[in-house]
Chains A and B, each alone.
Chain A
Amino acid sequence: MPAETVDLTPERQRTAEGLQELAPRKGATAQELMRELGAVLRMSEADAQALAEAEPLPGEDETMIINMGPQHPSTHGVLRLMLELEGEKVLRSKPIIGYLHTGMEKTGETLTYMQGPTNVTRMDYAAPLFNELVFSLATETLLGIEDEIPPRAQWIRMLLCEINRISSHLLFLATNGMDIGAVSMMIFGWREREETLRLLEMITGLRMNHNFIRPGGVAADLPDGWRDAILRVMDLIPPRLDEYDVLMTGQPIWRERLQGVGVLTAEEALALGATGPMLRSTGVPWDLRREAPYLYYDQLDFDVLVGTFGDCFDRYAIRLNEVRESIGLVRQILDRIPPGDYRIQDRKVTPPPRARIDESMEALIHHFKIFTEGFKVPAGEVYRAVESPRGELGCYLVSDGSARPYRMHIRGPSFVNLQTLPHMLHGGLIADAVAVISSADPIMGEVDR
């Protein structure tokens, strides 16, 4: 869409909120320019003033504002980017989101704590178990039972999360390859991801949106033959990762396409709140599994992978090697997973076992009441965070003592990480924009919630 056709009629401008779109740069003041170009990080006030006052060079003001998305195949769903281009150079950009907004935080206020995981699991649909985990951890902290969760339940949670991390990163490798033109990588990544999803289906019953991690533990114990099934996949994936190395990591075209593209510095990443592989690619060794251990991650041995240049290649390499780390973690968990209960035996939060319902009227009533009314959670507020494949996934819960959260807020890493896009795209080529969006790995379900 050329700049002239942006709808700036007075009616549109009169709405209280104004346009969400990127407006033409003509007429922007020095202060607006400075903030928009991320000058808090890059540009001095004097530079911005000079830029605003400078007479445009002949031809320089012939910029074009185009839309990329929301239906563009490389925008991972319904991300829309407005780009101001000068030839093929990206001058400014603005991500426009909200196309997948379904009011899940509002919905969460009408669901009980037992029903909550079914809602949050649909946010980051590529890593649903992390959403359930952070919601369950926050609920348990409010209940004050987090130290009483049986160890086996916690180890099952870690096992499932690491398998989920593998599947999420494999999805990234597939789409990253596809976006950049290595279409065979898409097939390979999808194929291996399907193996991990079959594992999750075997354990939880569903490929995605499991609703398996719940306040109080997990929904069921591990099924028969789980260990052999997991070991088979864990033996299968490492040689495939070596194939990816041959196909992509060492390949000159792949490196040319990614190295030095979309560079982010550590200062920018911290100031913009970027977490996860985005932050680690800039050299900041920040991983909540290591820095603020939850579950039993402090008993496991793993490396936090960091990059050096903060470019697309670092982010690709970090995610590829985090798959290897996660496979190592899964093997350690397999060795150490203890026997015991998979749910807390506190009848307040756990329904009675199925067999008891047949023989006890009280158990039947209890079962009915806990599923219709839920359990009451003491008043208070709490924030818990876990390291999802995309960064810090937080859950802020406010309870007023009833069986439903008074307020349920999920801090989605993709939502915050998206803010780095204008900084990474600025001054680059439009062809690189696809690589940069892909390397941020946004999941729009989590961005829009």
Chain B
Amino acid sequence: MTEPQTRYDVPLTRSRGQEVLHPSREQLVELVRMLRDEERFVMCVDVTAVDYLAYSAPRDLPPDVTPERFEVVIGLLSVRDRSRLRLRVQIPESDPACPSLFDVHPGVEALEREVYDLFGIRFDDHPDLTRILMPEDWEGHPLRKDYPVGAIPVQFKGVTNAR
């Protein structure tokens, strides 16, 4: 491993040649705002999350970042410099919440709702944090690793006069 690097006072790593920043939840909004205004990362192309509950390999994180169960992954794009930057934010299981980037990049509205819907990570200050893909009375968050595959309640089970 090379020396720990930082950029904008945030730990920086490289994954397969792609630059990854590891801000904390508290740093996130100001960092993204600064990147938009000063570094011209004008587009937020992707917001997603990963549930590392069942991850068996060692986590690829800089030494001073504490691994947590959830990770919100944000993809930023600079149209001027043709460069990309990825942010990975650690989100603890005990308090699955992340500040919303809506006020910096309004285009994350649907993406953050999707993460909320499928992972149950709340985005504080999001204007309309409702489920987006699943029905609104759905229980659980399907992309969590403790949500089993294919476990849907079977209706009409045990019908006696089945043909």
Contacts and interface: CB of A to CB of B under 8 A. Distances in A.
Interface of A: 15, 17-20, 32, 35-36, 38, 40-41, 97-98, 101, 103, 105-107, 109-110, 141-142, 144, 270-275, 284, 286, 291-292, 379-383, 385, 392, 394, 396, 398-402, 406-407, 409, 411, 415-416, 418-419, 448-449
B106 A41 contact: yes
Nearest to A400: B57
Most buried by B among A416, A418, A449: A416
A411 B133 contact: no
Nearest to A39: B106
Contact of A273 (B18, B108, B129): B108
Nearest to B111: A416
Closest 8 CB pairs of A and B: A273-B107, A379-B57, A272-B107, A35-B127, A98-B133, A101-B133, A411-B46, A400-B57
Nearest to B105: A271
B127 A394 contact: no
A41 B104 CA distance: 11
B46 A394 contact: yes
Contacts of A415: 110-111, 114
Contact of A448 (B43, B55, B133, B142): B133
B130 A20 contact: yes
Given A40-B103, A97-B132, A273 B43 contact: yes
Interface in B106-123: 106-111, 114, 118
Contacts of B136: 15, 17-20
Contact of B130 (A19, A383, A416): A19
Given A35-B127, A270-B42, A286-B79, 15 more contacts: A17-B129, A19-B136, A32-B127, A103-B142, A106-B142, A144-B16, A270-B79, A271-B43, A271-B105, A379-B57, A380-B60, A394-B45, A400-B55, A415-B111, A419-B107
Interface residues of B, number: 48
Contacts of B130: 17-20
B79 A284 contact: yes
Contact of B46 (A380, A383, A448): A383
A38 B106 contact: yes
Contacts of B133: 97-98, 101, 448-449
Contacts of A396: 46, 48, 73, 75
7 contacts: A18-B136, A35-B127, A36-B128, A273-B45, A382-B18, A409-B48, A419-B106
B143 to A, nearest CB: 6
B135 interface: yes
Contact of A271 (B45, B107, B129): B107
A396 B72 CA distance: 12
Nearest to B110: A419
Nearest to B138: A17
Nearest to B83: A292
Contacts of A103: 142
Q: Which of A110, A273, A274 has the most CB of B within 10 A?
A: A273
Contacts of A270: 42-43, 79
B86 interface: yes
Contacts of B60: 379-381
B56 A401 contact: yes
A89 B100 CA distance: 32
Nearest to A35: B127
B149 A275 contact: no
Given A17-B130, A284-B79, A416-B111, A142 B143 contact: no
